[in-house]
Amino acid sequence: MDSTLLTRRSSHAHRTPLKVLDEMTLTPGRVHELCGSARHTLAMLVARATDGPVFWISAAWATDRLNPEGMCAFAEPGRFTFLTPRQPIDLLWCLEEVLRAGVVPLVVADLPSLPGLTAVRRLHLAAETGAGEGMGAPLGLILTEGDGGAPGVESRWHMAPDHGSGRRAWHLSRRRARTLPPAEWEVSRVKGQFALERRAESAHIN
């Protein structure tokens, strides 16, 4: 059996997870999927929990762009470098190359369609390579529409607005994780601070 693969598998298992909000944690050196109508907000919450530069990759033809004024509620806009490839194939290529370089702690790719299993495996390997460069383990996020469903991701998270009268809140669910069960929370924002409140365990896995 290939000892290199065994080493890679054991190395990321022992990395300290990034704590995004209370029970929401993400393993560095891996690629995670964020989906749902509030996936961009969720990605900004992840950025809020990190330090250093963020590379944000989106298609040149995409009409939705992050608003710097809205970003300020989560993270300093000056931390972000925006990459806008003109060809669909270059979206994943950019994500893979940035992860492999290992010099950016957080890389986000806003994808118009789901990547295949081979592509996701390449992204994991690139993140592992980047982690070996000595600059820390990079965290990769892919943003997908609807319920997502990219194969092979380390975890899948869905978030959608759940605002009410005089309150801003979101419904967050962990739909897939290698070592944790599905779960659901309410994300609330009070006086600029975000918090999680557990809803219920779910037996549904996508």
Whether the per-residue pLDDT at 2 is higher than 60: the answer is: no
Q: How confident is the model at residue 24 (pLDDT cuts 50, 70, 90)?
A: very high
Q: How confident is the model at residue 70 (pLDDT cuts 50, 70, 90)?
A: confident
Give the integer Cα–Cα distance in Å for 46 and 86: 26
Please answer whether residues 77 and 107 qualify as being in contact, where contact means their C-beta atoms are separated by less than 8 angstroms: no
| pLDDT single digits (tens) 172-193 | 999 999 889 999 999 998 877 8
Whole-number percent of the chain with pLDDT over 90:
68
Give the integer Cα–Cα distance in Å for 129 and 63: 33
State the DSSP H helix or E strand holding residue 194, giving kind and residue range, or none if neither: strand 193-201
Residue 201: closest CA among 186, 181, 172, 187: 181
33-37, 45-49, 178-182: range with lowest mean pLDDT? 178-182
Residue 26: closest CA among 196, 136, 154, 167: 154
Task: Give me the CATH topology for the region 17-155.
Answer: Rossmann fold (3.40.50)
Give the integer Cα–Cα distance in Å for 74 and 153: 25
Whether the per-residue pLDDT at 8 is higher than 50: the answer is: no
| pLDDT single digits (tens) 77-132 | 999 999 999 998 999 999 999 999 999 999 999 999 999 999 999 999 999 999 98
Check residue 203 and give its pLDDT: 43
Give the integer Cα–Cα distance in Å for 31 and 26: 9
Average pLDDT, the chain: 88
With tokens 């820390």, the residue in question is: 136
Amino acid, single-letter form, for residue 140: G
Whether the per-residue pLDDT at 205 is higher than 80: the answer is: no
pTM of the model: 0.88
Q: How confident is the model at residue 145 (pLDDT cuts 50, 70, 90)?
A: very high
Please answer whether residues 175 and 195 qualify as being in contact, where contact means their C-beta atoms are separated by less than 8 angstroms: no
**3-class SS of residue 162:** coil
Q: How confident is the model at residue 10 (pLDDT cuts 50, 70, 90)?
A: very low
Residue 196 forms beta bridges with which residues?
Answer: 187
Tokens of 170: 């979101």
Check residue 21 and give its pLDDT: 92
With tokens 């600029």, the residue in question is: 192
Mean pLDDT throughout 54-80?
90
pLDDT top residue among 164 and 55:
55
Residue 200: closest CA among 174, 169, 167: 174
Whether the per-residue pLDDT at 161 is higher than 90: the answer is: yes
